[in-house]
Amino acid sequence: MLRAPSTGESFPSCQPFADGFCYRSNRLSLDAFTLQCHMAWMNKIKTVCVYCGSGPGTNPRFVEAATALGKIFAENGISLVYGGGSVGLMGAVAKSVRDHGGAVIGIIPDFLVSRENAVARGQELIVTPDMHERKRLMFERSDAFIALPGGVGTLEELVEQLTWQQLGRHSKPVLLANIDGFWEPLLALLAHMRATEFIRPALAVEILKAERVEDILPRLRAAAAGVPESAKQMPADLARRL
């Protein structure tokens, strides 16, 4: 039975099977009250969603960073929310969290279970019917977001969180783990968008950056603590439509 992290309320549509997977119905919608309660605790970061590649990349520092981040999470009691696979950077960060005694929540759509070698053992694994449900649950279960190096899927998930933040739908911290300057081209593009006024002051994009893995958690915590009380609540009508 899947349980919301901050309210303790269970989701009745979650059905655990003998294979260890937890399958979710398409009928599930985001509970506005659950989301508001979760956001009220966001200055106390307990779960962090990590977006990253399903491959290792060409630079060995990428895997090293993912492994180091998993260790830091476990040692600080931070639960990992991630895409559920056991390959690439996804697999590295999840394995590191588990190896150091931490909690892992994998969320994966059913069509990727075989392709990305989803692992049920040693973690909570939720299998969703589609990508939309996956991304909604990853948002709901997380207090902050980190993007390690990755491909188009990582970029899409990152940009979606930045867009929701830009439009005022959440105030959760979003951070780029800029390992060996991986995200510099994206940062240059965002600067270009600001210079050409497609990102305007009234719709600013707030994104954190860390070159060193050990700086990531302190920066997330500082950003979460600085969020004003009025920004921690999401209007119920917006939460229902998210």
Q: What is the pLDDT of residue 7?
A: 36
The pLDDT value recorded for residue 79 is 97
Q: What is the pTM of this model?
A: 0.78
pLDDT in tens, the chain (242 residues): 243 333 333 343 344 444 444 444 333 344 444 444 444 444 589 999 999 999 999 999 999 999 999 999 999 999 999 999 889 999 999 999 999 999 999 999 999 887 777 776 768 999 999 999 999 999 999 999 999 999 999 999 999 999 999 999 999 999 999 999 999 999 999 999 999 999 998 888 989 999 999 999 999 999 998 765 445 445 545 544 55
Domains of the chain: 15-226 (3.40.50.450)
Q: Tell me the three state secondary structure of residue 174.
A: strand
Q: 17: which residues sit within 8 A by CB, 6+ positions away?
A: 23
Neighbouring residues of 190: CB distance < 8 A, sequence distance ≥ 6: 199, 205, 207
Cα separation, 67 vs 61, whole angstroms: 10
The β-bridge relationship of strands 22-23 and 15-16 is: antiparallel
Other Cβ atoms less than 10 A from the Cβ of 9: the count is 12
For residue 219, what pLDDT is reported? 97
**Helix (H) or strand (E) run with residue 213 in it:** none
Give which of 27, 137, 44 is closest to 82, Cα–Cα.
Answer: 137
pLDDT at 172: 95
pLDDT tens, position by position, 8-26 = 333 433 444 444 444 443 3
Cβ within 8 Å of residue 148, ≥6 positions away: 50, 51, 52, 53, 62, 65, 66, 69, 89, 93, 154, 177, 179
